[in-house]
Structure formats: C-alpha cells, structure tokens
Amino acid sequence: MSGFQSPRGLRDLLEPLASAHGWVTDRAWAAADAAGYARIELPIAEESALFERAVGGTSDIVAKELYRLEPRGDDAITLALRPEATAGAVRAYIQHGMRSQPQPVRLATVAQLFRYDRPQKGRYRQFTQFDIEAIGDGGPGIDLEVIELGAAYLRELGLTDVQVHLNSVGCAACRPAYVETLRAHFTSVSQELSEVDQSRLATNPLRLLDSKEPAAVQRAASAPVITDHLCAECAAHYAAVTAGLATIGTAVLPAPRLVRGLDYYTRTAWEYLLPGEQGQQGALGGGGRYDGLVELLGGTPTPAIGFAIGIDRVVLALEARGLLPAVSGGPAIVVAGIEPDSVASRVAIAGELRAAGASARADVSTRKIGKQLEGAVRDGALAVIIVEPDGRLTLRDLVKASQAEPAERGGVIAAALRLVQNEG
C-alpha cells in the first residue's frame, strides 16, 4: 500500500458516489438548459484580487479560506483557486461585452470550488456547486424565476419538502442605518463576544448574524430585523417577491436574520433548506441579489441575481432518503471467446455494439470460457456473446439462463440489441 493518501478535506469519489454525483450534475445541466440558461465554463483560478474585491475582505472566504497561488517567473499576478463562481461569471460578463446582449444574460455552470475550511460531513475543501446567474434585470420577476428554478431542481430530484428561507438585506440607501442599529445592539455585550466576533462588530456587524459562537447567537436572537428598516424601494421589492412566490406555490419561510456569508448581496437573499436536519446539514444552497457587483468589478451599474446549490450536500440528502438511482453493475453485454486468438474479434464486436447504442465490453483475457461467463455474471451483464472457434457467434441470455444456437454475426448482434432493449 502506498504511503500517499488524499489530502485532508479532499477525497476520491468511487462508485456508487461517483455515478450519483454525475447523475445529480446531469440533472442540474438539464434544468439550466430547459430554463434557457447558457452554459459557461470558468477558469479554475482567477486573480486573487477579483475574489478579494467581490466577496469582501471581512468575509470568511477571503480572510480565512482562500487558496492563493504564488506568482512564478515573470508573472507578478497572484492567482487564487476559485472559492465561488459568481465573481468569475461577472468578470466574464464584463470582459466579453455581454452588456450588449439582450438582458438579462442567463448563465449556468457546474464548478469545482476550493475553500480552506474545517472538513466535516457535507463540507469539503474541494466541492462542487450548481451555479445560476441572471445579470441585467433589477425587477422582482427575475427573482421569482431564479428562486423557483433552484427549488424546482431540488424537488425534481425527489427532495419535495425543500423550503425557501427568504429575507431582504436592503441596499446601500437603507442598510447603513440598520448596520449602526445592529452595532449598537451588540456593543452592550461586546466583551462577551469572541475575538473574531469583536472584529466583525467593528468592521461588518451583519456578519454577527451568521456567527456560530454562543454569545453572538444568543444576542442575535433579540437583534432588530432588517426588514423593519428597509427603504420604500427595498420594501416594495421584497413584498413583490414574497407575493410572487406565494402565487406560484413555492414554500417560503421568512428568515429576517438571514444575511448569507458574502458581502456583495443586496435586497433578496435566500437559502434552500430541508426541514428536520441538524445544523447546516439541511442547507443545500442559496443565493441573492448582487446589484452592485458588476460596477464594483469595473463594469457599468448592472443589477444581477443568482444561486449556488451544493452538489455534495444534495447527494448526501438523496442518499439518506434512499432516492439515488441504482448504479449499473457493468455493461449490458459482454463479448467472450473460446479461443485465445479471438480477442481482436471480441473487441471489434463490442465496439459495434457500443456504436449501436448498447453498453458492451470485450473480455480480453485468455481465461477459460467458464471463467469469462462467471465474470459477466458478476458484472451484472444481461447477455454474453461468445465467439466460437469457427467464427460464428452464440448468444447467451443471462436473465433467462438460455442459449441460442451458433449463428452468423449480423443476426446475433441484432438479437443481442433487441434483448437489451426489451430488458431496458
């Protein structure tokens, strides 16, 4: 056994989890395609300054979790592995002149992300998110579309009791006054707060509502809520989103202390949660508006909204509820042979079967035919095609435990394809 192991917080995905992740990811792409969201593949690393500016220096992602790469050679730019996808999507929107396209520009990606975080169940240092961004529309209608798209995706996977926890975090006009009210609320117990939370109190009191430290959690329970401090425009937007979600039947729970973990959110913020789960295990993802981010990153003022859903968390939730599809144990057809020199023919026949749409593999060993048949049964194959010494083929149905007479190649291959189609 090698002395090397996967690094802490990173992991190998083996079956059946590898297929489960693939299935959940395929459904994510299908949901985005069906809603008219264009696919985008983003670089796995960006300038670290992009995340530092977009996510915010007081966020845990930048302060504690960013994986920075040292510059090499003549490259003086510090890169960082992407910790989230929104900043890269906005950078691409600006760089490629998407402002000239019909708005909003709808983008979707499934991305591998990296954060230096304490590993725990459902939280890894390398993880995958399904990300949706709609850039260029400030009205509440696009909020409804994006929120419902994520909720519908989760419901269609089988997580039918998913809830949307909804809040508004205001805007640049009304949030500063609320922040000061919040600061005053926590200042009276500042000495009881942890060192990290005392720093948050000074730099960004909103982050105290996200704290898991007992003193901050206790004080947050009686904190003023931001929905009582919204300006008229933000209040009207929040009311329209809430009413719209009720109209389309999306289950919503008001969450007046939900602020999310990123500094760029404005107005609508939400999370997708499963009821009855402990801690953060029921949190499958979330999103919000980021109406100031495009301008912050060098573009013209442009409203935008998006969500991220954790593929790893979704797979765990589906597994716990017995909702993952069964993983096929192997190919539908195995091509075996009696003579050792028939290996090339076996490979050619398996390729022909795959070209016709069936899953097939050739047994390329020189084992006795009995051992080859045992291997096909162990792999869960439906049928075996046996290459006879005279070049003819024999079809053995492993489901019915029956075997046809040797016949010419074309007829046996056609019969094997029909068998697989009927069993499917």
Confidence check: pLDDT of 233 > 60: yes
Q: Which two tokens stand for residue 173?
A: 């006009």
Position 398 scores a pLDDT of: 92
Higher pLDDT, 192 or 236: 236
Position 323 scores a pLDDT of: 92
Average pLDDT rounded to a whole number, residues 11-17: 88
The least confident of 10-24, 62-76, 208-222 is 62-76
Position 196 scores a pLDDT of: 83
| Confidence at 63, pLDDT banded by 50, 70, 90 | low
The least confident of 71-75, 105-109, 179-183, 411-415 is 71-75
What phi, psi does 132 have (nearest 5°)?
-120, 135
Which amino acid belongs to residue 302? T
Position 208 scores a pLDDT of: 85
Confidence check: pLDDT of 93 > 80: yes
- What are the distances in angstroms from CA 145 to CA 222, 265, 325? 33, 18, 28
Q: Which two tokens stand for residue 96?
A: 């490629």
Confidence check: pLDDT of 8 > 60: yes
Position 247 scores a pLDDT of: 94
Average pLDDT rounded to a whole number, residues 191-208: 85
Average pLDDT rounded to a whole number, residues 152-175: 93
| Confidence at 99, pLDDT banded by 50, 70, 90 | very high
Position 198 scores a pLDDT of: 87
Position 328 scores a pLDDT of: 67
Question: What is the rounded distance in angstroms from the CA atom of residue 131 to the CA atom of residue 107?
Answer: 8
Position 279 scores a pLDDT of: 53
Question: What is the rounded distance in angstroms from the CA atom of residue 175 to the CA atom of residue 403?
Answer: 75
Mean predicted lDDT score pLDDT of the chain: 90
Question: What is the rounded distance in angstroms from the CA atom of residue 337 to the CA atom of residue 389?
Answer: 8
Position 257 scores a pLDDT of: 83
Question: What is the rounded distance in angstroms from the CA atom of residue 186 to the CA atom of residue 188?
Answer: 5
Confidence check: pLDDT of 329 > 90: no
Question: What is the rounded distance in angstroms from the CA atom of residue 401 to the CA atom of residue 126?
Answer: 46
pTM to 2 decimal places: 0.87
Largest separation between any pair of C-alpha atoms in the chain = 92
Average pLDDT rounded to a whole number, residues 204-232: 87
Average pLDDT rounded to a whole number, residues 115-142: 90
Question: What is the rounded distance in angstroms from the CA atom of residue 144 to the CA atom of residue 246?
Answer: 10
- Region label for 252, one of left (φ > 0), alpha (ψ between -120 and 50) or beta (otherwise): beta
> Above pLDDT 90, what percent of the chain?
62
Residue by residue, DSSP assigns 225-284 as PGGGS--HHHHHHHHHHHHHHHHHT--EEE-TT---S-TT-EEEEEEEE-TT--TTTTEE
Position 3 scores a pLDDT of: 84
**Residue closest to 287 by CA, chosen among 134, 178, 418, 171:** 134
Q: What is the pLDDT of residues 269-320, one digit of tens each?
A: 999 999 876 556 678 999 999 999 999 999 999 999 999 999 999 999 999 9
Average pLDDT rounded to a whole number, residues 347-363: 94
| Confidence at 2, pLDDT banded by 50, 70, 90 | low
- Please report the domains of the chain, with CATH numbers, ordered by start residue: 17-174+230-320 (3.30.930.10), 333-419 (3.40.50.800)
Three-state SS at 118 = coil
Under 8 Å between Cβ of 99 and 49: no
Position 182 scores a pLDDT of: 87
